[in-house]
Every structure is written in structure tokens, then in C-alpha cells.
Amino acid sequence: MSYLFITNLSIRNFRNIPALDLAPGPGVNIIYGDNAQGKTNLIEALYLLTGQKSFRQTKESEFVRFGEKKAQIIAAFSGGSRDQEVSLTLEGGKRSALLNDLPLSVGELTGRFFAVVFSPSELSLVQDGPSQRRAFLDGAITQVMPRYQKTMADLSRVLFQRNNLLYDVARHPGMDETLLEVWDRSFAKLSYSIINARVRYLTRLAPFGEEIYRGISGGKEALSMAYQCSIPGEWGSLGEQEGEALILSALEKNRREDLKNSCTTIGPHRDDLDLRVNGVSARAFGSQGQQRSCALTLKLAECRVIREVSGEQPVLLLDDVLSELDKTRRDYLLSGLAPGQLFITCCDRSGFSSIREGITWRIREGQLAAKRRITPKKKKE
């Protein structure tokens, strides 16, 4: 197994960062400083190189620093015994990319550069509604199966058209409903692909998650995860034709309900990831500590799946999240990681005395200063 690591990073006019150049180490890199100095912006810039959307709720037009026309992120990275360079330009609310000086769509970056981010918002993965957990699954699947992104976009388009038609039919009772059958077939085909991909991904993720959670809890608790589909069926064992037929049948049975609500009330856009600790729902009954352990487990298990599928350890981005974890979970995270490149942001670097080797930088007003290398202490003779 190899691991990806960034050798040089250049950021220009991204959010509050005017110009930042960083030569990170292949191991632990700690960026510390006060709030609103650019720590999360740096992590966000790194994550955008995966070709996925930002982990923050934001408009793409907000990426460019105020008063500037465009922003640029360039990174040289090594992985799979190959040195590469990726460039991302953000201008006019749009993104364009280069890989080794060759133009490609931003979506084509996915599967070329791997990174997993764990931010405070991820702590709500368990506490919030199903949409958060669906987004986690879809983002994780896309990294190891880039074509999944297009399937999701196609489903979104079909769902929009079907919902519009449902609205029109509901408002005009005499309107011909046969056009719905056309959208139903498209919806069933795409839905099967998505449900099947999620179930297969979860088959890989669950064993890693169970192992990691046992480690976090010291073997005292067990985590289980299952795909909760709004259309009951033996998903994972159904072939394409059987699966699509089952979805079509469910849509037909549910049509009156869909017309009543003027929207599609069943399908992958309504599914959930069920997380249970010792057989009890983590969302409904888990303590805050258990819920945070579940969120941490999902992210670490995602790293393991990427490593298994691609043969490369992804870059791990921890954005101001360690302060939200107690000492037991923090120590497990820092000690249990596989070798690889790690970026940690925090307000105070003093909480990382357990880290024996790495580099720290202070960030202020979007610029780096006060570089310091952490070196292993020599044993006394």
C-alpha cells in the first residue's frame, strides 16, 4: 500500500487567503491560530482538489476573495509512485481544472486525488436527519466510484421532472397520467443503481466500522450499520431487472400518495443509514459521546475503504474537531491512524503533546508564519 501526500500547495485569493505557499511534511501537519484567520479555508481548499463539493454550506461565488476576479489552488502531490500536479481555478461561480497541465472537468478529479475531511459539521452526522447520512454515503461512494456522481445528477434531474408532473396532474384531475410512466421507468433504473451502490459500499464499510468502534469504546460497545430503504426488498441480492421491477411496482402502489403530496415520497432520496450501538438507535437514544464516536468511526472507516479499493491511503483533514472530542477519542484517533499525511487545524497547538513528529504553522489573516518542526525526543542514556 502507498499513500498520497502533498509536497507543495499554493493558494491565491481563496476566501480570506491572499497568497499562501506551503510545503507540508508527509506526516502530521498542524495549522493553528485564532478563529477567522483562515484555518478552515485552507482545509476547504485542499478538499476541493478531490473534485467534490465543499463540506461547508456555501455558494461557489463566495470562494473568491473580495475584490478579486478569480481564485486558484495548485498542489503538487505524490501517490502510486507517481508525481502529479493538480490546479483548480474558481472564477465567476464556476470551476475549471488541470491535471498535469491537461484540462479536464472538475468531476474528473474525483478518483485522482483522495482526501477525507472530518469537521465539526460531521459531528451532526448521527444527530441530524437522514439527508446528512445520505450525503455522507454519496460523497464516500463517489471517491471510489466517480461515475456514481453522474448517476446522482441524473436522478436529481428525473426527480425534478417527475415532481413537476405530479404537481400538474394533482392540480388538473382530468390530465393524462401516462407520461408519469415514462418518468417512472427512468426513475426506477437510476434508483436501482444508487440503492445497489449504497448497499454494496456499506458491505465494505460496516466491518471496518465495527472494528474501529470497538477500539474507540475499548471493546465495551458494538456498532452495527444497515441501509434503511424506503422501498422494502432484499437489496444487495436483487438483480437489475428484479430491482427495477420492484421499484416500479412500489411507485405504482404509492402513486395516490405522491399525487396527494405533489412529490415522490419513496426512493433513494428518502432512504437512511441506520446506526445502532448495542442494538439501540444511536440517533434516538445514543449519548453525545456515542454519537460522536459513531461520526468519527464513519470517517475513519471511509479512509479504510478508499485504501482497500485504491491501494492508497488518502490525505486526512481534521478541521478544528479534536477539541470537540474527549481525551479517549482524541488519543484513539491520533494513535490509531494508518501512516499517511494528516492536516490538523486548531486554536492551540499545546494539546498535541502526544504527537512525536510533524510540523506546525501559525496562521494569521490568511498567511502562514512561525513554522516549527516537532522531532522525536532522544532517549536518555
Instruction: Specify the DSSP class assigned to residue 271.
Output: -
DSSP run (H or E) holding 129? none
- Coil/strand/helix, residue 34: coil
Tell me if 64 sits within 8 A of 71, measured CB to CB: yes
User: What is the per-residue pLDDT across 335-348, written as a single tens digit (0 to 9) for each?
Assistant: 766 678 999 998 87
Instruction: Mention every residue, 6+ apart, whose C-beta is less than 8 A from residue 270.
Output: 130, 230
Give this prediction's pTM.
0.90
Rounded CA separation 161/115 (Å): 34
Q: 106, 63 in Cβ contact below 8 A? A: no
378 pLDDT band (50/70/90 cuts)?
low
Residue pair 323/120 in contact (Cβ under 8 Å)? The answer is no
Q: Residue 361 CB: number of other CB atoms within 10 A? A: 21
Cβ burial, residue 236 (10 Å; 0-12/13-18/19+):
middle
Q: Residue 298: what pLDDT? A: 94
Residue partners of 186: CB distance under 8 A and separation at least 6: 158
d(CA 144, CA 131): 21
Q: Which three cell numbers stand for residue 249?
A: 411496482
| Nearest CA-CA partner of 318 in 48, 58, 124, 43 | 43
C-alpha cell at 333: 484517533
Percent of the chain residues topping a pLDDT of 70: 96
From the list 269, 182, 281, 185, the residue with the least C-alpha distance to 224 is 281
Residue 140 per-residue DSSP state: H
Q: 216 pLDDT band (50/70/90 cuts)?
A: confident
Q: Is the dihedral of CA 326, 331, 337, 343 positive or negative?
A: positive
As a whole number, mean pLDDT of residues 83-102 equals 93
What is the model's pLDDT at position 60? 83
Catalogue the long-range contacts made by 214-218 (C-beta closer than 8 Å, 24 or more residues apart). 215/332, 215/336, 216/293, 216/296, 216/297, 216/328, 216/329, 216/332, 217/293, 218/328
Answer yes or no: is pLDDT of 375 > 90.
no
Read off the pLDDT of residues 260-317 as tens digits, 9 standing for 90 and up: 999 999 999 999 999 999 999 999 999 988 998 999 899 999 999 999 999 989 999 9
Output the CA–CA distances (angstroms, integers) from residue 356 to 27, 223, 235, 377, in the order listed.
Answer: 11, 31, 46, 8
Tell me what the mean pLDDT of segment 218-247 comes to.
95
Q: What sign has the CA pseudo-torsion 147, 151, 152, 153?
A: positive
pLDDT at 178: 85
Does 183 have pLDDT greater than 80? Answer: yes
Provide the edge-to-edge strand list for the sheet that holds 17-22: 17-22, 5-14, 70-79, 82-91, 94-99, 102-104
For position 338, what pLDDT does the model report? 65
Residue 14 in 3-state DSSP? Answer: strand
